[in-house]
Amino acid sequence: MWIENFYMSPWPHLIIDNFYDAETWAYVSNKNHLFSKYKDLANVKTTGISFDFIDDTMLLQYFSKKLPLHYLERKFTNHRDFDQIHPTVHLKVSRLPKLYDIHDENPHKIFSVITCVQPEHSVGTILFNKDKELDRVITWKPNRAIIFAPIDHVTWHSFGNWDNTDRYTVDFFWQT
């Protein structure tokens, strides 16, 4: 059952547990199959692998249906301006014990969705206030989505991987 919790601090963000339905969760959590489908798009870095702008019909349709633009605009009234927008899906594998740099989102991202896939336990998303001071950690939980509308110099966040287990996420962005 989809469970939503909306928070205003340190900046508006939405957490949805049980984000994926059973069929889509089975598809997403079969990471070896999903990630190997897009091996030609792998961008290997010392800290992990990114599969950016994948053309996965099932995931694009799922995200677009569950998080349509009008829904996100209603939830996040303070979002970046845009004329045209399109959905994108990215797969991420974070490796090595590491805390990633505090950052806000690329200016082309209008709405950001990070979904936790595997492992069972990892470091969640770390939120900072506009002064880059630690505010809270959104606990990692498989099949959890963290959603926000990036705001320049406000939506500071980070994530980490503090053991040798790979951290898998499926990320979705509405972007210009």
Write the secondary structure of 113-166 as one string of H (helix), E (strand) and C (coil). EEEEEECCCCCCEEEECCCCCEEEEECCCCCEEEEECCCCCCCCEEEEECCCCC
Share of the chain above pLDDT 90, in %: 82
Asked if 142 contacts 118 with a C-beta cutoff of 8 angstroms, the reply is: yes
Average pLDDT over the chain reads 93
Neighbouring CB atoms inside 10 A of 15's CB total 20
Render pLDDT for 32-89 as a digit per residue (tens, 0 to 9). Answer: 899 889 999 999 988 889 999 999 999 999 999 999 999 999 999 999 999 999 999 9
Instruction: Give the pLDDT band (50/70/90) at residue 96.
Output: confident
Q: Quote the domain boundaries for residue 50.
A: 3-76+84-175
Q: Which residues lie across from 175 on neighbouring strands?
A: 86, 109
Can you give the pLDDT at residue 46?
83
Render pLDDT for 100-157 as a digit per residue (tens, 0 to 9). Answer: 889 999 999 999 999 999 999 888 899 999 999 999 999 999 999 999 999 999 999 9
Q: How many Å apart are CA 80 and CA 105, to the nearest integer?
A: 11
Total of domains in the chain: 1
Asked if 80 contacts 125 with a C-beta cutoff of 8 angstroms, the reply is: no
CATH of the domain at 124: 2.60.120.620
Say whether pLDDT at 98 is over 80. no
Render pLDDT for 118-128 as a digit per residue (tens, 0 to 9). Answer: 999 888 899 99
Can you give the pLDDT at residue 15?
98
